[in-house]
Chain A
Amino acid sequence: MENFYNLVPLIVIIPAIGLLINLFAGKYLGEKGVGIVAVGASTGAFLVSVLLWIALVDTGFEAAVVNMPLLDGWIRIPSAGVEIPWQFRVDTLSVTMMLVVTGVGTLIHLYAVGYMHGDERFPRFFVYMNLFLVFMLTLVSGNNFLMMFVGWEGVGLCSYLLIGFWFDKPGGEGWRNSDAARKAFIVNRVGDFGLVLGVLITFWTFGTLDYYRPHEEPLHVAAHGAEESAPVFAPDVPEAEAVEHAPSGPLGVFNQAHLWLEEGGHRVDFGLFSMSFEATLTVITLLFLLGATGKSAQIPLFVWLPDAMAGPTPVSALIHAATMVTAGVYMMVRSNVFFHASDTTSFVVTLIGATTALMAGFIAMGQWDIKKVLAYSTVSQLGFMVAAVGVGAYAAAMFHLVTHAFFKALLFLGSGSVIHGVEHGHHHVAHAHGDEHHAEPFDPQDIRNMGGLRHRMPVTYWTYLIGMLALAGVIPFAGFWSKDEILLDTLKLGTEQGRLDGYVGFVLLLVAAVFTAFYMTRQVALVFWGAPRTEAAAHASESSPTMTVPLVILAVLSVIGGFMNIPDGFPVLGSLFGVHELTSWLEHSVVYAHAGSFNFLLATAAVLLALAAIYAGRLVYNDRVLRTLRLDPLEADPRTSRAFALANAKLYWDEFYFKYIVYPFRDAAHWLADRLDWAFWHDFVHNEVIYGTFQRATRVLTEPVDRGLIDRAFNAIGEAIRAAAARLRTIQTGYVRTYALSVLFGALLVMFIILLPVIRELLGM
């Protein structure tokens, strides 16, 4: 089974083959063929992931490093001692990510075959989707930061291509789509800048980018993680032996960091200055965090994600909910040795995550677009994960990442199904009533145009309801378990270590959880409950099986997904499914993973709060309100109208950025272009100073010097020559006797000259 490890390159190669086939043969294959190739490629990658999982279980979770065929000497500069191989790392963390990416990815590919039906660029869509898989799997499977960076940039590219996939839609919509794509790309550049700086400093500090060298085991701390719970992980080797066991050669970055931290006092020389290793790690992790805020949509760089919903819904589900946006979380969990070492960074991470969670949850309550609500919900949930990283609950962050992938993918696909259905209904109505309806603008994504869809779209409704309960954190759905673990870990950071960020983070996250339950109730009520508010909604129809089957599968996962990490001390279920399964699995690769315990009081309180929020939501959005929805009840109520307006305006983040960053930047650019470059540099320096001076100098040289002096001199010479010529010409008389005489005199002249020295000698001169 160990041989399965060697299959890992296939996880990248299979989607690559899929995309190549669709790229070159896509237009001949037809929709069915393209779909089979794309879904097949995704499924193949998923099977490889499963085999890798089996191999890990079989070998006792022993990590492996596998070289990519042909690329094992990827970057090699012997003179500078730089050697970065294209190596895959198979360990519990990377395989977890692979399973999520390929598993959810396959379901979404399948869904997309139905969703994209009839699109004129059907093959291209799946080329992009498979390309995304290639890069995402490169990102999670690499054994060094550079491969992660390659994947990181690659998924950014795919994100850009897919957000703007409908760049040519008529009526200004194409512009909005491509604007959204550019916004995503540009905002991410800021984050990527941080990441690449962090990677460079990492390289400078350690001389390598490898996480761990081949055959190098992660070194675990002696005082391991959470003393409060029985250590699930029993090291195979005693600590002393482990250190002995450390390879003699250069170490990977994490073990090296571990050793230096244990030794203490290590300094990093930056040429002009040196820094303590701990401070260096703080700098690196803060830069990594900047990268994560870009890719994982945290304050201050989250603004691109809601706009990214302009892409086709499967893209929103796969890239902008389940996988790509979690890359930042994965990166931070992968670097947990670094993050754990810096309290400063942890503090910042916690606050950013918790604040983002609360802020996005608040905005989600005031949105009308079904996908925007989910987008802000995603931002909010990513905030939970980031906060978990901040409080050191790396396993909890990964746990929430996995469960969130299930239910958020489910919700997005459900919303896509709803949009599809409403659009279908709209077309039906428009067809029945003639053409005048086409003139009317109709937004199939606006939840005000829906209502009562539970009767028309039962499968979508029930699966969506499961997704909503999971997101809201209602026991026993998946979201409950992961969210509860994060809340508990955050609280414990405050109570047990007396850390302020623990308390603050806990309060923020708890309120965010209440908001979550409320806005999801609002959404389900507006979309599915009550009576249809438009003809289109009244005539909506259920989607095709290729779309509903993934919904059902994801719904099942959203129900049972939480059971993979039942906390210690939970009655019944713990003995049924085992405790801390995911945590103990991750502990093999995540050094600072620790298992969460179960706090009955907190869990009860959280569930009750969620249920209360759902109840409140149902009260506000009751059937009477839903029937004649003009304004949101919160908007209509003077006590909450201001808050609603704020949420609806997205807290003016975009306006803020435009006013204080985009416009000043644009003005500065204009100033640089018009004033500095054109007026000063071009008009003054070039035209006036250089060109003008040159011209004036030339004029001086031309007029007085050249024409006045040189020309006149030469003209005089020329005139003299002409005059001489004219005079010489008169000698040419045409008479032979003249000519003969000239020959005679010539001969005499020649003889005189030739005799001159002799004559001189004779005359004694």
Chain B
Amino acid sequence: MFEVPSLSDLNVGATLPVTLLALGACVLLVVDLFIPRERKSITAWLTAIGIGVSLVFSLLSLSGAVEFGSGELAFSDMYRADRLTDTINVAALITALLGVMVAYDYLERTRLQRGEYYILLMFSAAGAMLMGAANDLVIVFIALELLSIPLYILSGFRRPQEASEESAMKYFLLGAFASGFLIYGIALIYGATGTTNLPEVWDAVAGVVAEDSAAKFLVMIGAGLVLAGLGFKVAAVPFHMWTPDVYQGAPTPVVAYMSVAAKIGGFAALVRVFGMGLSTFVLESGAPAAWQDTIWLVAVLTMLLGNVVAIVQSDLKRLLAYSTIAHAGYILIAVAAAGTAGLEDTAAQAVVIYLIAYAFTNAGAFAVITAMEKDDASNTSLDALRGLASRCPWLAAAMAVFMLSLTGIPLTAGFVGKWFVFKVALQADLVAAAVVGVLTSAVSAYYYLRVVWMMYFEEGEGDAATPPALAWAIGVAAVGTLVLGALPYLLSDMAREITLAFGG
């Protein structure tokens, strides 16, 4: 029954960006053994080079200048190399690069400098990329695990420290629990449709609904379980509770990376599964997909809870943890919009635009916290910000830029992301969700601007150390935030050609 495909049929060329990264990580695993402990900067550099090469390949593919492989599908229709894949690749790789830059000095000063850190980071980036490229529910699951397991380890990377270990443990237990929901959901969908291949699911779901058989309940429950599993990854309410604890306990550079990478992977998978595979799951003709209401309700809950609870936080890492929850809510609006027929592409574009904008902003914000954090993981409270502007004017300015971008002030990348998300929400008639989004954005201004206020208008001893790599990371993130905000067409041009529609 199974036929072993020949190498040429695999169309490996189309998967080059992710394949190179994964292969690089494997090779580095061996090479790292021969690099002495005090020269791990070599590993960091090699990692950066590996990510950079993959990024170049992704950008080449995105620009259309070079076409890798033959056709979009690879590995027996498991892998899809389209515009969404390219843009998710770019976002994930930029995040990974920033993650390496933010981590290097931190690892050095906390004596955690080990090659595994970088290798794990590469593997998890490959996982995020694969989630965007998934053309099969099985790949979605495998990629999720590839993304998650290194993150569990990285969370506990500061091993002797209790907080770090606790966060790793919590993350692993809950992550495994959530993975169970995901795989169960996948199983139910397979049961109803007889396939895990997304285009085939797309085809079969229409038939399932038309027959009005009991199978549609299976699809519904399956969709709900998949949503729960992926919702956990992106920290959507009510699957969010791990987030503040894990983010607070994990080493800050890890949070800088994983808060973005997990979202990239999770939302890429949500777009693939719901926007592509289940977009035909329409109970009455002309109505939006059956899962749309659920997703936007989740989005509303997420935005409300994330923003409201963030107000009372006194620790910067926790505050930003709730902030990431809130932002998951905004992106979920766009995912919900994909349920309206004809808006799948636009919604996917909005998601990608938001993710890229968010990658620069959020990674930058956590990088600033990394700079502030003392070796004993203290000094991350809001009070530590007092007077930072007078001591580290550039750092404070960058932080202000990130905060304004997270608020969604025009001329920052955050505004561009919100603009496209709310626009597609209105196009999909999700007015309530859009209104809640705008209102909670206004609420969020309270705690984001309080950060700026603390830095600029309060007297205090706020201080930070910015070694070169970290400074570069913060600088790149800040400039990226401003440039993408000032030139919004950079993002919209990049995302414009994303299409989910196929077959039709």
CB of A734 to closest CB in B, whole Å = 6
- Find chain A residues with CB under 8 A from B173 CB: 736, 740
25 A-B pairs within 8 Å (CB atoms) are namely: A722-B312, A725-B309, A726-B312, A728-B308, A729-B309, A731-B241, A736-B170, A739-B241, A743-B177, A743-B241, A746-B231, A746-B237, A746-B239, A747-B224, A747-B228, A747-B239, A749-B238, A750-B227, A753-B294, A754-B290, A754-B293, A755-B224, A757-B283, A758-B217, A758-B220
Contact A725 B297 (CB under 8 A): no
- Find chain B residues with CB under 8 A from A745 CB: 238
How far does the alpha carbon of A742 sit from the alpha carbon of B173 in the complex, in Å? 13
Contact A739 B224 (CB under 8 A): no
- Is A576 an interface residue, CB under 8 A from the partner? no
Interface residues of B in 225-264 (CB under 8 A from A): 225, 227-228, 231-232, 237-239, 241-242, 244-245
- Is A732 an interface residue, CB under 8 A from the partner? yes
- Find chain B residues with CB under 8 A from A734 CB: 245
- Find chain A residues with CB under 8 A from B28 CB: none
Contact B283 A743 (CB under 8 A): no
- Is A721 an interface residue, CB under 8 A from the partner? yes
Q: Which 6 pairs across A and B sit closest by C-beta, in order of nearness?
A: A746-B238, A751-B224, A747-B228, A739-B241, A725-B312, A754-B224
- Find chain B residues with CB under 8 A from A732 CB: 241, 244-245
User: 14 other contacts beyond A750-B227, A754-B294, with CB at 8 A cut-off?
Assistant: A722-B311, A726-B312, A731-B241, A732-B241, A739-B174, A743-B238, A746-B239, A747-B224, A751-B221, A751-B224, A754-B223, A754-B290, A754-B293, A756-B293
How far does the alpha carbon of A649 sit from the alpha carbon of B305 in the complex, in Å? 96
Interface residues of A in 108-154 (CB under 8 A from B): none
Question: Chain B, 264-294, contact with A by CB distance < 8 Å: what is the 0/1 string?
Answer: 0000000000000000000100000011011
- Find chain A residues with CB under 8 A from B445 CB: none
- Is A715 an interface residue, CB under 8 A from the partner? no
* A747 in complex: contacting residue of B225, B308, B309, B312, CB < 8 Å: B225
Contact B170 A743 (CB under 8 A): no
How far does the alpha carbon of A738 sit from the alpha carbon of B245 in the complex, in Å? 13
* B290 in complex: contacting residue of A736, A743, A747, A757, CB < 8 Å: A757
User: Nearest A residue to B177 by beta-carbon distance?
Assistant: A740
Contact A724 B174 (CB under 8 A): no
- Chain B interface size band reads 35 or more
How far does the alpha carbon of A721 sit from the alpha carbon of B297 in the complex, in Å? 19
Contact B241 A750 (CB under 8 A): no
- Is B486 an interface residue, CB under 8 A from the partner? no
Interface residues of B in 153-176 (CB under 8 A from A): 169-170, 173-174
| Contact flag A751-B225 (CB < 8 Å), given A734-B245, A738-B241 | yes
- Chain A interface size band reads 20 to 34
Residues of chain B touching chain A, judged by Cβ–Cβ distance below 8 Å, are: 169-170, 173-174, 177-178, 181, 216-217, 220-221, 223-225, 227-228, 231-232, 237-239, 241-242, 244-245, 283, 290-291, 293-294, 297-298, 305, 308-309, 311-312, 443
- Find chain B residues with CB under 8 A from A742 CB: 238-239, 241
Contact B298 A721 (CB under 8 A): no
Contact B291 A739 (CB under 8 A): no
- Find chain B residues with CB under 8 A from A721 CB: 308, 311, 443
User: Nearest B residue to A749 by beta-carbon distance?
Assistant: B238
- Find chain A residues with CB under 8 A from B231 CB: 746, 750
A-B contact count (CB 8 A): 90
How far does the alpha carbon of A736 sit from the alpha carbon of B167 in the complex, in Å? 10
How far does the alpha carbon of A726 sit from the alpha carbon of B309 in the complex, in Å? 7
User: Nearest A residue to B298 by beta-carbon distance?
Assistant: A750
Contact A753 B308 (CB under 8 A): no
CB of B273 to closest CB in A, whole Å = 14
User: Nearest B residue to A735 by beta-carbon distance?
Assistant: B170
- Find chain A residues with CB under 8 A from B305 CB: 728
- Find chain B residues with CB under 8 A from A757 CB: 283, 290
Contact A755 B311 (CB under 8 A): no
CB of A720 to closest CB in B, whole Å = 10
Contact B309 A754 (CB under 8 A): no
Residue among B173, B178, B217, B224 with max Cβ neighbours from chain A (10 Å): B224
- Find chain A residues with CB under 8 A from B238 CB: 742-743, 745-746, 749
CB of B400 to closest CB in A, whole Å = 23
Contact A725 B241 (CB under 8 A): no
How far does the alpha carbon of A579 sit from the alpha carbon of B240 in the complex, in Å? 123
Contact B293 A753 (CB under 8 A): yes
Contact B311 A750 (CB under 8 A): no
User: Nearest B residue to A745 by beta-carbon distance?
Assistant: B238
- Find chain B residues with CB under 8 A from A751 CB: 220-221, 224-225
Interface residues of A in 694-753 (CB under 8 A from B): 721-722, 724-726, 728-729, 731-732, 734, 736, 738-740, 742-743, 745-747, 749-751, 753
- Find chain A residues with CB under 8 A from B291 CB: 754
| Contact flag A739-B170 (CB < 8 Å), given A721-B443, A732-B244, A750-B228 | yes
How far does the alpha carbon of A732 sit from the alpha carbon of B248 in the complex, in Å? 13
How far does the alpha carbon of A728 sit from the alpha carbon of B238 in the complex, in Å? 12
Contact B312 A743 (CB under 8 A): no
- Find chain A residues with CB under 8 A from B170 CB: 736, 739
CB of A715 to closest CB in B, whole Å = 13
- Find chain B residues with CB under 8 A from A731 CB: 241
How far does the alpha carbon of A285 sit from the alpha carbon of B169 in the complex, in Å? 109
Residue among A726, A731, A746 with max Cβ neighbours from chain B (10 Å): A746
CB of B362 to closest CB in A, whole Å = 21
Contact B228 A728 (CB under 8 A): no
How far does the alpha carbon of A756 sit from the alpha carbon of B177 in the complex, in Å? 25
- Find chain A residues with CB under 8 A from B228 CB: 743, 746-747, 750
How far does the alpha carbon of A743 sit from the alpha carbon of B178 in the complex, in Å? 8
* A754 in complex: contacting residue of B169, B178, B220, CB < 8 Å: B220
CB of B19 to closest CB in A, whole Å = 34
Contact A747 B241 (CB under 8 A): no
- Find chain A residues with CB under 8 A from B237 CB: 746
Contact A739 B290 (CB under 8 A): no
CB of A18 to closest CB in B, whole Å = 60
How far does the alpha carbon of A728 sit from the alpha carbon of B177 in the complex, in Å? 23
- Find chain A residues with CB under 8 A from B308 CB: 721, 724-725, 728
Residue among A731, A739, A750, A758 with max Cβ neighbours from chain B (10 Å): A750
Contact A729 B312 (CB under 8 A): yes
Contact B309 A728 (CB under 8 A): yes
User: Nearest A residue to B176 by beta-carbon distance?
Assistant: A740
How far does the alpha carbon of A754 sit from the alpha carbon of B443 in the complex, in Å? 29
- Find chain A residues with CB under 8 A from B245 CB: 732, 734
How far does the alpha carbon of A740 sit from the alpha carbon of B309 in the complex, in Å? 20
How far does the alpha carbon of A747 sit from the alpha carbon of B443 in the complex, in Å? 28
Residue among B177, B244, B291, B443 with max Cβ neighbours from chain A (10 Å): B177
User: Nearest A residue to B184 by beta-carbon distance?
Assistant: A747
Contact B312 A736 (CB under 8 A): no
- Find chain B residues with CB under 8 A from A750 CB: 224, 227-228, 231, 294, 298
How far does the alpha carbon of A738 sit from the alpha carbon of B238 in the complex, in Å? 12
How far does the alpha carbon of A743 sit from the alpha carbon of B230 in the complex, in Å? 12
Contact A747 B311 (CB under 8 A): no
Contact A725 B221 (CB under 8 A): no
CB of A733 to closest CB in B, whole Å = 9
- Find chain B residues with CB under 8 A from A728 CB: 305, 308-309
CB of B309 to closest CB in A, whole Å = 5
User: Nearest B residue to A726 by beta-carbon distance?
Assistant: B312
CB of A692 to closest CB in B, whole Å = 33
CB of A694 to closest CB in B, whole Å = 28
- Find chain A residues with CB under 8 A from B221 CB: 751, 754-755
- Find chain A residues with CB under 8 A from B177 CB: 740, 743
How far does the alpha carbon of A731 sit from the alpha carbon of B240 in the complex, in Å? 12
| Contact flag A743-B174 (CB < 8 Å), given A755-B217, A755-B220, A757-B290 | yes
How far does the alpha carbon of A745 sit from the alpha carbon of B238 in the complex, in Å? 8
CB of A739 to closest CB in B, whole Å = 4
CB of A335 to closest CB in B, whole Å = 69
- Find chain B residues with CB under 8 A from A724 CB: 308
Residue among A743, A751, A755, A757 with max Cβ neighbours from chain B (10 Å): A743
How far does the alpha carbon of A739 sit from the alpha carbon of B177 in the complex, in Å? 10
